[in-house]
C-alpha cells in the first residue's frame, strides 16, 4: 500500500518552488518516500502495538507523536492481560501500582496534520530531485569540458543525490524531535 505524499503541488507553489506539473506528483512522492525512510518512524497516522519494559511506574512510548492510547496490558509468560488505572501525561504512560516487567501498549501515532516544516522539506527535496542531472542517482557519470579543463561528476561524489542531504536530515530531525533508543519490540502494525 502506497502512503500519500507529504506535500502537494499547491504546497510547493505556496513555498515558492516551481515544479513541472507533468512530474510534480512523482517528485513529491519520491521526496515523501525518502523523508519517511530517513525519519525511521511513522509520519502518517498508524496504529502500532509494542512491548516495553516499564521504568518503575512509567513507560516512554517510541516514535512520537502519540495521538491516542488504545489499550495497555501486562504481559506474563507471553499472556497479555488488560491493565487499569493507567493514564497518558503527554510524555509518558503512567502505570501506578503496576508491578509488571513487560507491558503491551496499542496506540495511534503520527501527525493528523503535518507540521509546516515537514511539508516545506518535502517540497525542497522534490525541487532538488527535479534538478538532479538525469542518471546521477543511478551512478551515471557526467563530464563537463571547457578548453583543457574538465570535471567529472559521479554518483560516488554525490552519493546522497537520491537520499536526503545533511542539511535536509538536520531539518527532518528538528521537525521530528530527538529520537532515543527505547528497547521496544513492535508486535504489529
Q: Do 14 and 94 have their domain in common?
A: no
Q: Do 59 and 102 have their domain in common?
A: yes
Rounded to an integer, what distance in angstroms lies between the CA atom of residue 127 and that of residue 125?
Answer: 5
In a domain, 183, yes or no: no
Q: What is the count of structural domains for the chain?
A: 2
Q: Do 120 and 83 have their domain in common?
A: no
Q: Do 81 and 128 have their domain in common?
A: no
Q: Do 121 and 165 have their domain in common?
A: yes
- Report the share of the chain in percent with pLDDT over 90: 52
Instruction: Output the CA torsion 21→25→26→31 (10° steps).
Output: 120
Q: DSSP alpha helices (H): ranges in the chain?
A: 9-14, 24-39, 116-131, 166-176
Q: Do 51 and 144 have their domain in common?
A: no
Q: Is the CB of residue 170 less than 8 Å from the CB of residue 124?
A: no
Rounded to an integer, what distance in angstroms lies between the CA atom of residue 178 and that of residue 119?
Answer: 19
Q: Do 156 and 134 have their domain in common?
A: yes
| pLDDT tens profile 51-103 | 999 988 899 888 778 999 999 999 999 999 999 899 998 888 999 877 888 99
- 163-170 average pLDDT score: 90
Output 6 or 41, whichever has higher pLDDT: 6
CA 53 from centre of chain: 24
In a domain, 156, yes or no: yes
Q: Is the pLDDT of residue 9 over 80?
A: yes
Q: Do 122 and 134 have their domain in common?
A: yes
Place of cell 527535479: 130
Q: Do 162 and 118 have their domain in common?
A: yes
Q: Left if phi > 0, otherwise alpha if psi is -120 to 50, otherwise beta: which for 94?
A: beta
Core vs surface per residue 59-87: b (16+ CB within 10 A) or e: bebbbbbbeeeeebbbbeeeebeebeebe
Q: Do 102 and 144 have their domain in common?
A: no
- Cβ neighbours of 151 (radius 10 Å): 10
- Of 93, 110, 127, the last residue of a domain is 110
> How much is the pTM?
0.70
Q: Do 79 and 166 have their domain in common?
A: no
- Of 68, 92, 110, the last residue of a domain is 110
Domain span including residue 142: 9-42+113-176
| pLDDT tens profile 132-152 | 876 555 555 666 778 888 676
Amino acid at each position: 500500500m502506497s502512503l500519500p505524499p507529504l506535500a502537494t503541488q499547491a504546497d510547493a507553489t505556496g513555498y515558492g518552488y516551481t515544479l513541472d506539473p507533468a512530474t510534480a506528483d512523482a517528485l513529491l512522492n519520491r521526496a515523501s518516500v525518502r523523508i519517511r525512510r530517513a525519519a525511521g518512524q511513522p509520519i502518517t497516522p498508524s496504529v502500532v502495538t509494542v512491548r516495553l519494559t516499564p521504568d518503575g511506574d512509567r513507560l516512554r512510548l517510541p516514535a512520537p507523536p502519540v495521538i491516542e492510547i488504545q489499550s495497555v496490558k501486562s504481559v506474563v509468560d507471553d499472556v497479555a492481560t488488560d491493565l487499569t488505572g493507567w493514564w497518558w501525561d503527554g510524555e509518558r504512560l503512567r502505570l501506578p501500582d503496576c508491578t509488571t516487567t513487560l507491558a503491551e501498549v496499542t496506540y495511534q501515532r503520527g501527525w493528523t496534520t503535518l507540521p509546516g516544516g515537514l511539508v516545506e522539506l518535502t517540497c525542497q527535496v522534490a525541487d532538488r530531485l527535479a534538478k538532479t542531472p538525469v542518471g546521477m542517482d543511478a551512478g551515471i557519470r557526467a563530464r563537463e569540458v571547457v578548453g583543457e579543463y574538465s570535471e567529472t561528476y559521479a554518483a560516488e561524489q554525490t552519493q546522497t543525490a537520491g537520499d536526503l542531504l545533511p542539511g535536509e536530515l538536520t531539518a527532518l530531525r528538528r521537525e521530528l524531535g530527538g529520537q532515543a533508543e527505547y528497547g521496544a519490540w513492535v508486535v504489529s502494525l
